[in-house]
């Protein structure tokens, strides 16, 4: 029996989407679905929920929870990763509250920025431990990474873990539908092309019947900017740099030096930027889980409809050899020619029996490549810090981050990093 292993299966709602999709996919019947999580209670909840979906769907998949990670991985053909190291308390709180003391404010803090750097530093060692197990007990497995910071972790698993990894993010899938809905435009018959890096990929082309839709998109966006809405940062970036970005405005507000500035507090109001957004979401999710747990976990009649998540479609394409196209995060093997070869990029990929095959993009418009490189710099220095154990590279990563460096002096950045390292304690390895 082939095996699909889900690491971080205590993410019950996400496990429902990914593994519920698997159980509704004819080509994936008969697989063992192996569940692993360090939280035994949440693991048990997910197992119970999935057994209920198995009954209502009539799936022939076998569901099994494991307390031993290596045994959960043993013989796996596919691995789905959805972990979060450190959670809301204590690590996310630390990522937000200590920078605030220095006047450095954040919105999401899960990609780059000072929060993204430290989320990477506590997650990379865990991922490399996964890689050791994978190379021992399932070396040919395809690793589907959903964990942020996406670009760095996917890069690390490929280059330092020796694991065949593709990173998957929702932002490419929903980019054009959400943009067109916001602008009151129809997507039927529209084709588009997206490439860049995770959370900062670009809608490079968008057309219908050979007609470029960008002029109309920009006209409507400029009108929208005259009043408050939830996507003001991305619209502003598009109007200034020429292209729309895949990830949300609350994310992109902290990827650039232009929006969250303590000496210009009026920008927060002008661009409707939700500071401390991720901690609020965490608190709400914790409260909502307490309310929804019984309904989700103990409903023996729980049903599921196949979602838009890529995972089951990727597995189906490989198993059936019926091609499927995704936006995937992969290493830059000459795919985007004006971004560093060491970078992880997000490009269209073809999936079939050969696995995930990324497609060639060529040069991005120069201003877009330049913006991507500002974030890639921090990503690569964060990896350097993690694999060498050198504290100086943590400083380098932070000093190269666009938002952090725009707000703080070099001395303050070093002091902030030192304080964060101390506060994280055993969540981080020792740096010298």
Cβ atoms within 10 Å of 189's Cβ, excluding its own: 8
CA dist 154 and 143 (Å) reads: 9
Task: Give me the CATH number covering residue 420.
Answer: 3.90.1820.10
Last residue of a domain, one of 149, 169, 189: 169
pLDDT reading at 290 higher than 90:
no
Contacts with 291 (C-beta within 8 Å, 6 or more apart), sequence order? none
> Are residue 153 and residue 184 in the same domain, yes or no?
no
How far is Cα 390 from Cα 397, in angstroms, rounded to an integer?
A: 11
Looking at 117, 142, 169, the residue that finishes a domain is: 169
175 in a known ligand binding site: no
Q: Is the pLDDT of residue 1 over 90?
A: no
Integer Cα distance of 270 and 259 in angstroms: 9
Show the domain range for 386.
Answer: 94-105+170-431
Q: Any binding-site annotation on 199?
A: yes
- On whether both 351 and 237 belong to a single domain, the answer is yes
Give tens-digit pLDDT for 112-155: 999 999 999 999 999 999 999 999 999 999 999 999 999 999 99
Domain CATH for 133? 3.40.50.720
- Write the pLDDT tens digit of every residue in 320-355: 999 999 999 999 999 999 999 999 999 999 999 999
Q: Is 68 strand, coil or helix?
A: coil
Alpha-carbon distance of 376 to 333, in angstroms, equals 15
Give the residue-averaged pLDDT of 79-99.
98
Strand partners, 355: 352
Half-sphere exposure of 355 (CA within 13 A, CB side): 13
Q: Which residues are catalytic?
A: 170
Distance from C-alpha of 419 to C-alpha of 429, rounded to nearest angstrom: 15
> Which run of H or E residues covers position 106?
none
> pLDDT tens-digit profile of 203-219?
999 999 999 999 999 99
Give me the pLDDT at residue 185, please. 98
148 in a known ligand binding site: yes
């Amino acid at each position: 029996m082939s095996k699909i292993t889900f690491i971080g299966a205590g993410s019950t709602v996400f496990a429902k989407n990914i593994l519920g999709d698997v159980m509704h996919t004819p080509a994936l019947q008969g697989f063992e679905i192996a569940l692993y999580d360090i939280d035994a209670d949440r693991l048990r909840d997910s197992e119970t929920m999935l057994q209920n979906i198995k009954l209502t769907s009539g799936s022939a998949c076998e569901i099994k929870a494991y307390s031993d990670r290596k045994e959960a991985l043993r013989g796996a053909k596919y691995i789905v990763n959805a972990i979060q190291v450190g959670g809301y308390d204590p690590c996310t709180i630390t990522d937000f509250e200590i920078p605030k003391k220095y006047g450095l404010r954040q919105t999401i803090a899960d990609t780059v920025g000072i929060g993204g750097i430290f989320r990477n530093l506590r997650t990379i060692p865990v991922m490399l431990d996964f890689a050791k197990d994978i190379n021992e007990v399932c070396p040919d497995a395809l690793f589907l990474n959903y964990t942020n910071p996406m670009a760095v972790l996917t890069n690390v698993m490929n280059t330092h873990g020796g694991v065949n990894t593709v990173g998957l993010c929702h932002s490419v899938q929903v980019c054009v539908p959400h943009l067109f809905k916001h602008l009151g435009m129809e997507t039927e018959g529209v084709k588009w092309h997206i490439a860049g890096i995770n959370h900062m990929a670009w809608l490079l082309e968008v057309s219908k019947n050979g007609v470029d839709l960008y002029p109309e998109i920009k006209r409507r966006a400029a009108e929208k900017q005259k009043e408050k809405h939830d996507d003001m940062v991305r619209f502003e970036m598009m109007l200034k740099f020429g292209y729309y970005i895949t990830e949300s405005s609350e994310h992109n507000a902290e990827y650039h030096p232009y929006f969250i500035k303590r000496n210009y507090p009026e920008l927060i109001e002008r661009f409707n930027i939700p500071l401390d957004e991720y901690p609020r979401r965490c608190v709400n999710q914790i409260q909502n889980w307490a309310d929804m747990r019984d309904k989700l976990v103990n409903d023996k009649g729980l049903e599921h409809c196949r979602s838009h998540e890529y995972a089951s479609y990727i597995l189906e394409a490989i198993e059936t050899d019926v091609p499927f196209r995704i936006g995937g995060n992969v290493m830059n093997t000459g795919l985007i020619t004006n971004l560093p070869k060491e970078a992880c990029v997000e490009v269209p990929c073809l999936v079939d029996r050969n696995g995930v095959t990324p497609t060639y993009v060529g040069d991005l418009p120069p201003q877009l490549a330049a913006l991507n490189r500002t974030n890639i710099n921090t990503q690569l220095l964060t990896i350097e810090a993690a694999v060498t154990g050198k504290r100086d590279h943590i400083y380098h990563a932070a000093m190269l981050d666009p938002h952090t460096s725009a707000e703080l002096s070099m001395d303050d950045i070093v002091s902030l990093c030192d304080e964060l390292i101390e506060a994280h304690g055993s969540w981080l390895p020792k740096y010298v």
